Structure 1
Amino acid sequence: MTARKPGAPMPAKLRALIHSSVAHPARSIPCPHCHASAGQPCTLRTTSRHLPKPHPQRVSAWAQQTAVCPECQTAPGTPCHDERRPRTTVHPRRYQEAEATAA
């Protein structure tokens, strides 16, 4: 078997363009689950493997920081609630609102 020459490396400018176009907007904040820094992909704690999508906790925290919840009428930065009982995640409609503002 013959050794194959590696191809040309991808230019850093092109690599950044590809990664920025597919990155979820939730990457703009740190992940509360795996503690990935803002701008960095989420990782598995055991293997440190990068995940293609952010953890649900990160997406929830991002939606909480960026959008008003149409369901419980809470302001950005305020957690969602169900009849004054706090929720661990945000309402589904708040996700939609956050995605609409990011687009």
Structure 2
Amino acid sequence: MTLHSGAPMPDSLRHYMRAKQHPARSVPCPHCGVAAHKPCELRTTGRQMPQPHPQRVSDWAQTIACCPACQVTPETPCHDDGRERATVHARRYQEAEATAA
């Protein structure tokens, strides 16, 4: 057993320190059902995918960013004239990527 003398790294920093992982992996995937921090899988074969499913990316953007298009706060779904959208606006993706950078 190896003992470390330093303080533990917070989970919020640990995710961004992982090399070459899409930040959307910080949330579970609603499409294939994998847990947070695991790569998406094809439901038919179980093969791991190099990029997350689009719905996972949408959920991630909704979790961390405000939407400049419809003026909603994080965790609130985007809407078009009062009707909830299945995915977020493109500007919200940009806002989420800027937040993660």
**Shorter chain as normaliser: what TM range?**
0.7 to 0.9
Larger Rg: 1
Which residue is equivalent to 2:25? 27
Identity %: 67
1:77 counterpart = 2:70: no
Aligned residues: 84
The RMSD of aligned alpha carbons is 0.5
> What secondary structure sits across from 2:19 in the alignment?
helix
Which residue is equivalent to 2:94? 96
| TM-score (ref. length: structure 1) | 0.80
| TM-score (ref. length: structure 2) | 0.82
Looking at structure 1, the residues matched to 34 and 79 of structure 2 have their Cα atoms a distance apart, in angstroms, of 27
Displaced runs of 4+ in structure 1, greater than 3 A? none
Where structure 2 has 5 or more consecutive residues not aligned to the other structure, the ranges are 1-17
Deviation per residue, 1:26-81 (Å, 9 max, x gap) = 00010000011000000000100000000000000000000000000000000000
Q: Which of residues 25, 36, 39 in structure 2 aligns to 1:38?
A: 36
Deviation at 1:21, TM superposition (A): 1.4
